[in-house]
Structure 1
Amino acid sequence: MLDKRRLHAPGSPPCTLLFVAALTITGCLSFWLLNGCPGPPLLVSSPMVAQSPAYVLILPGNGSVHPRPYVLSELPPDDETTLIDVRNFRFVINHEPCNKTQPLLLMLIHSAPSNIPKRMVIRETWGQRRNGAIVLFLIGTDDKLQNQIEEEDKIYGDIVQGNFKDAYRNMTYKHVMALKWATYHCPGAKYVLKLDDDVFVHTPAMLEFLSHDLSPWGARRLILCDLMAMAMVKRSWRSKWRVSPLEYPGKTYPVYCAGWAIIYSPDSVFSLYREAQKESYFWIDDVHITGTLAKKVNLTQTPLNSLILKKERLKAVLEKQNSPGDFLFGPANMAESDIRALWYIVTSKPWPSFN
């Protein structure tokens, strides 16, 4: 089991103990243990990040307190064929891997059509099929590669494709498509993990974390991620992240989640999806969905802190071939060879050469 204290930022107090003490004083301790008050806070030291629990864990005694996270009838009649401002949306390639099951974790990986090597690395390492987890790759269309994509899906059966062009400034379509797919096609998932295809997930540790450090019955109002606070809006023409004042008039973005790895509870998925369908398109998906929209629907992000393996630590682990300790994610933008090497380390397999 992972040590929750690792979720605290350096210098933070042992917040779980403080939380229990506060609950004892307020008379809520027994209710928390038996029925599920908000989960223990996962804190960072930044004053911009909420210091109180932002989510609620579902436990055996409080199932009736937390009804179904959503019902599809709350959506407009034409919602299924709409993707923000795309009115003829459809899934070009689709699957029903949930099959009315309730997986602990649904992993939805953003991938470009041409990123076949990245998808193969994931399939061969942390994305291998296992009980309790479902892995899918989400892509848009690329006419030149469509036949190749369809052949790949015939072999692996793990691609979901929407009928919008796969392009750099269409990332928000892909993110909202992921939320749509989870909402319509896997409503029983306890947790939804949105990922990029150059990320490492310590899958065994992740399933252990969700089952024991959180709850195997799920949570409510959860957005767990690598938090970004006080990020400046890029105005320089040299920046690939340039945003004009017309696109976003503010000077700083709201607190948001770095988009490479975000854990959602299903009710958070639905709330953000429903709001995204109403709002104007903004192309930086993590800012838009986990920042602007999360603020509108009153959802608070919870930081992962030290459960992310930082680049410096990863380098030391790969060079010395020793244990990386407790972690859930590698750093963002990992090379394929490093993903393979780290997987061999965490699964204690013989060390191969990846040259």
Structure 2
Amino acid sequence: MLENLRIYVFVSAPCTRRFAIALILTICYSIWFNGENTDMSLPSSGNIVASNYLVLLPGDNTTQSLPREPYRLSELPSDDSSTLIDIKGFKFLMNHYPCNNTQPLILILIHSAPGNFVRRKTLRETWAQRSPLVSLLFFIGTSEKFQDRLEDENSKYKDLIQGNFVDVYRNMTYKHVMALKWTTYHCPNAKYILKLDDDVFVHVSAMVEFLTHDLTLLRNQRLILCDVSLSSPVKRTWRSKWRVSYLEYPGRYYPAYCLGWAILYTPDSVLLLYREAQREPYFWIDDIHITGIIAHKLNLTLISLHSLVLTTKKMTDMLSNSRIGGGFLFGPPDMSEDRMRALHSFLSTTRTVINLD
């Protein structure tokens, strides 16, 4: 396999050292893991071929023609717009088109539960504000209990996307694929797509800096950047919230996948994942299904952003001592509203140096 593998990485002068090292280590681990682990059986069959990358060193004027789009909307089945995996007659009950034929640097898709009004309000009042570079939406399913309040909220903020499936935990994969569907149909020109949970803090200015200067992906393809989970065993015990039966998933281990709280996609990855998710049988753990099983089948590359996540200890130190800086893209997972406001206030009133080296 190695003699047929071309490993290419874009490396520019200001490229993040930790990111470049993580990229190379991830690719090397992927080569070893796919070749050595035979227990990682998947529901889908197919040969795994290593992804190709091109190393462009500073001063290298090498140019390559971009591959064509992964597919065109006209190539999808005629009933695709009204189908969501196995739901026939799917439709958006609430819908907006914030891209308006523009090309935002980043489209942020925030998964939220219908009843999380306080969380959404907190995000809108802190980091989650639209700009010419950033388009942002919240994705929800239906809720009989909260529907009237949701319609009032949407009338005020115009940032809710609602699909006609019940918003319960086992339907999370519908929500994830709905977000990919919305991007495919309504904002295909976004340069990057960021999927988030609604308890995540994003350092937006650092993210913009990272995407425009530190991360040179304009000619890279088929990438997913996230906090990667490797060699996770399938939970079989009835006591586990994550129990999966042999019928649902026969393998002992899941393929490498993204922890679902923050996932950064290149647009071609979104298109490919969406098309394949529409064909695959439903599996309820969405991050494993989309960024693990399907991404593995499509041979998409997962790159770790773990080193750019702020730890709880580092955040506590920063909030107690304004002289402590450091670069990060995301706050710790599962942040409370109070901590989110505190971190936003700190970044708004303190001149922190965005240094991702």
TM bin (shorter chain): 0.7 to 0.9
Looking at structure 2, the residues matched to 3 and 342 of structure 1 have their Cα atoms a distance apart, in angstroms, of 26
Structure 2 residue 296 is the aligned partner of structure 1 residue 284: no
Match of 1:29 in 2: none
The residue identity in structure 1 corresponding to 2:23 is L
Change (3 A) 1:104 1:63: farther
Contact kept in structure 1, 2:82 and 2:91, CA below 8 Å:
yes
Change (3 A) 1:322 1:43: farther
Match of 2:23 in 1: 42
Match of 2:178 in 1: 177
Match of 2:232 in 1: 231
Contact kept in structure 2, 1:202 and 1:329, CA below 8 Å:
yes
Contact kept in structure 2, 1:137 and 1:159, CA below 8 Å:
yes
Per-residue deviation, 1:144: 1.3
Instruction: For residues 162-197 of structure 1, give each alpha carbon's deviation from its aligned partner in whole angstroms, at most 9, with x where no partner exists.
Output: 000000111100000010000000011000000000
Classify the secondary structure of the residue corresponding to 1:220: coil
Classify the secondary structure of the residue corresponding to 1:274: helix
Structure 2 residue 176 is the aligned partner of structure 1 residue 195: no
Stretches of structure 2 lacking an aligned partner (at least 5 in a row): 1-12, 33-49, 352-357
The residue identity in structure 1 corresponding to 2:274 is Y
The residue identity in structure 1 corresponding to 2:286 is D
Using the aligned pairs only, state the percent identity.
54
Change (3 A) 1:235 1:106: same
Contact kept in structure 2, 1:138 and 1:178, CA below 8 Å:
yes
Classify the secondary structure of the residue corresponding to 1:106: strand
The residue identity in structure 2 corresponding to 1:157 is K
Classify the secondary structure of the residue corresponding to 2:269: helix
Per-residue deviation, 1:2: 7.5
Match of 1:161 in 2: 162
Match of 2:337 in 1: 336
Looking at structure 2, the residues matched to 218 and 185 of structure 1 have their Cα atoms a distance apart, in angstroms, of 23
Instruction: For residues 73-116 of structure 1, give each alpha carbon's deviation from its aligned partner in whole angstroms, at most 9, with x where no partner exists.
Output: 12111111000000110000000111111111000000000001
The residue identity in structure 2 corresponding to 1:5 is R
Looking at structure 1, the residues matched to 154 and 195 of structure 2 have their Cα atoms a distance apart, in angstroms, of 20
Match of 2:247 in 1: 246
Change (3 A) 1:207 1:45: closer
Looking at structure 1, the residues matched to 166 and 271 of structure 2 have their Cα atoms a distance apart, in angstroms, of 24
Deviates more, 1:134-143 or 1:301-310: 301-310
Contact kept in structure 1, 2:18 and 2:307, CA below 8 Å:
yes
Per-residue deviation, 1:7: 2.5
Contact kept in structure 1, 2:15 and 2:215, CA below 8 Å:
no
If asked which structure has higher relative contact order (CA below 8 Å, sep 6+), I would say 2
Looking at structure 2, the residues matched to 103 and 82 of structure 1 have their Cα atoms a distance apart, in angstroms, of 27
Per-residue deviation, 1:53: 7.6
The residue identity in structure 1 corresponding to 2:205 is P
Match of 1:7 in 2: 19
Looking at structure 1, the residues matched to 115 and 255 of structure 2 have their Cα atoms a distance apart, in angstroms, of 32
Deviates more, 1:309-318 or 1:295-304: 309-318
Looking at structure 2, the residues matched to 339 and 120 of structure 1 have their Cα atoms a distance apart, in angstroms, of 12
The residue identity in structure 2 corresponding to 1:151 is D
Instruction: For residues 219-265 of structure 1, give each alpha carbon's deviation from its aligned partner in whole angstroms, at most 9, with x where no partner exists.
Output: 42110010000111112222211112221111211100111101101
Normalising by structure 1, we get a TM-score of 0.83
Normalising by structure 2, we get a TM-score of 0.82
Looking at structure 1, the residues matched to 104 and 276 of structure 2 have their Cα atoms a distance apart, in angstroms, of 25
Structure 2 residue 85 is the aligned partner of structure 1 residue 104: no
Instruction: For residues 193-231 of structure 1, give each alpha carbon's deviation from its aligned partner in whole angstroms, at most 9, with x where no partner exists.
Output: 000000011101101111112248574211001000011
Aligned residue runs from structure 1 range 56-205, under 5 A: 62=63, 64-205=65-206
Per-residue deviation, 1:349: 5.4
Per-residue deviation, 1:130: 1.7
Per-residue deviation, 1:347: 2.4
Classify the secondary structure of the residue corresponding to 1:42: helix
The residue identity in structure 2 corresponding to 1:335 is S
Contact kept in structure 1, 2:106 and 2:194, CA below 8 Å:
yes
Match of 1:275 in 2: 276
Looking at structure 1, the residues matched to 281 and 79 of structure 2 have their Cα atoms a distance apart, in angstroms, of 17
Contact kept in structure 1, 2:104 and 2:190, CA below 8 Å:
yes
Contact kept in structure 2, 1:199 and 1:334, CA below 8 Å:
yes
Per-residue deviation, 1:119: 0.6
Looking at structure 1, the residues matched to 190 and 26 of structure 2 have their Cα atoms a distance apart, in angstroms, of 32
The residue identity in structure 2 corresponding to 1:301 is L
Looking at structure 1, the residues matched to 113 and 237 of structure 2 have their Cα atoms a distance apart, in angstroms, of 26
The residue identity in structure 2 corresponding to 1:291 is G
Change (3 A) 1:48 1:324: same
Per-residue deviation, 1:54: 6.3
The residue identity in structure 2 corresponding to 1:255 is A
The residue identity in structure 1 corresponding to 2:207 is M
Instruction: For residues 13-65 of structure 1, give each alpha carbon's deviation from its aligned partner in whole angstroms, at most 9, with x where no partner exists.
Output: xx5xxxxxxxxxxxxxxxxxxxxxxxxx6244796445998667999985843
Match of 2:35 in 1: none
Contact kept in structure 1, 2:70 and 2:272, CA below 8 Å:
no
Deviates more, 1:335-344 or 1:78-87: 335-344
Moved over 6 A (4+): 51-54, 56-61
The residue identity in structure 2 corresponding to 1:6 is R
Match of 1:36 in 2: none
